[in-house]
Amino acid sequence: MLGALVGLKAEAKLLRMLLPDAPIAVSGATFEGACGAMDRLRRSGATSLLSFGCSAGLSPDVRAGAVQVAAWVDVDGVTYETDSAMRARFGAALPDALGDGLRHSDTLVVTAAEKEALYKRSGCLAVDMESGLVAQSGLPFAVLRVVCDDARRDLPPVACDVLAGGRISVPRLIGGLARQPGQIGALIALGREAARARQSMKAFLTRLAVSG
């Protein structure tokens, strides 16, 4: 049975259009939450795993909205290959799907400088906070991710403290902007990239569903 690990509840809702009956666990975009979500998937009886959702671009050639069906995951320099049959199932052969590697990080990667350093170290196209745990599970796995912020973008401070329970917390968002209103422009730009990423992944999932 396939189980899926995602960062946010909105990502779980999006994945339901392709996997209506599969167990989906939400990490809340924290390392502790990802560990707990993995435990829930194991208890559900999952025998294969999908890491799904957003990632941050590392390669300067990858833009927001790019969809990646990763060929491998890099965890602190150790490479874990994704399952070839699962890669095919989740669209690796589609013409706009990127392959190559995805880097795992236990913490949020915030600045363009951090992204550049990770790219030079790993050569991976993007980074997320869940795929490493899926890769280290010992189960067959695949990674289907969409870039939500590209390698050139620093995340505004409010974006790093706005999540609660796997959702965007409106009180935290308002409070952060009240303390530092100069973030508004950067937050709007990030929101545009996130919207582009969501539409790109939705279109990708629709093609997968149609193709069976």
**What pTM does this model have?**
0.88
pLDDT value at 178 more than 60: no
CATH superfamily for 2-211 is: Nucleoside phosphorylase domain (3.40.50.1580)
Enumerate the domain spans of the chain: 2-211
Going from the C-alpha of 178 to that of each of 69, 172, 183, the distances in angstroms are: 39, 10, 10
Encode pLDDT of 67-77 as tens digits.
Answer: 999 999 999 99
Structure tokens at 3: 């189980």
Encode pLDDT of 3-33 as tens digits.
Answer: 999 988 889 999 998 999 999 999 887 888 8
d(CA 6, CA 45): 17
pLDDT band at 169 (very low <50, low <70, confident <90, very high): very low
pLDDT value at 195 more than 80: yes
pLDDT band at 176 (very low <50, low <70, confident <90, very high): low
If one compares 72 and 149, the residue with the highest pLDDT of the two is: 72
Tokens 């990490």 locate to 27
d(CA 155, CA 158): 8
Encode pLDDT of 73-110 as tens digits.
Answer: 999 999 999 999 999 999 999 999 999 999 999 988 88
Cβ atoms of 35 and 57 within 8 Å: the answer is no
How confident is the model at residue 105, as a pLDDT? Answer: 94
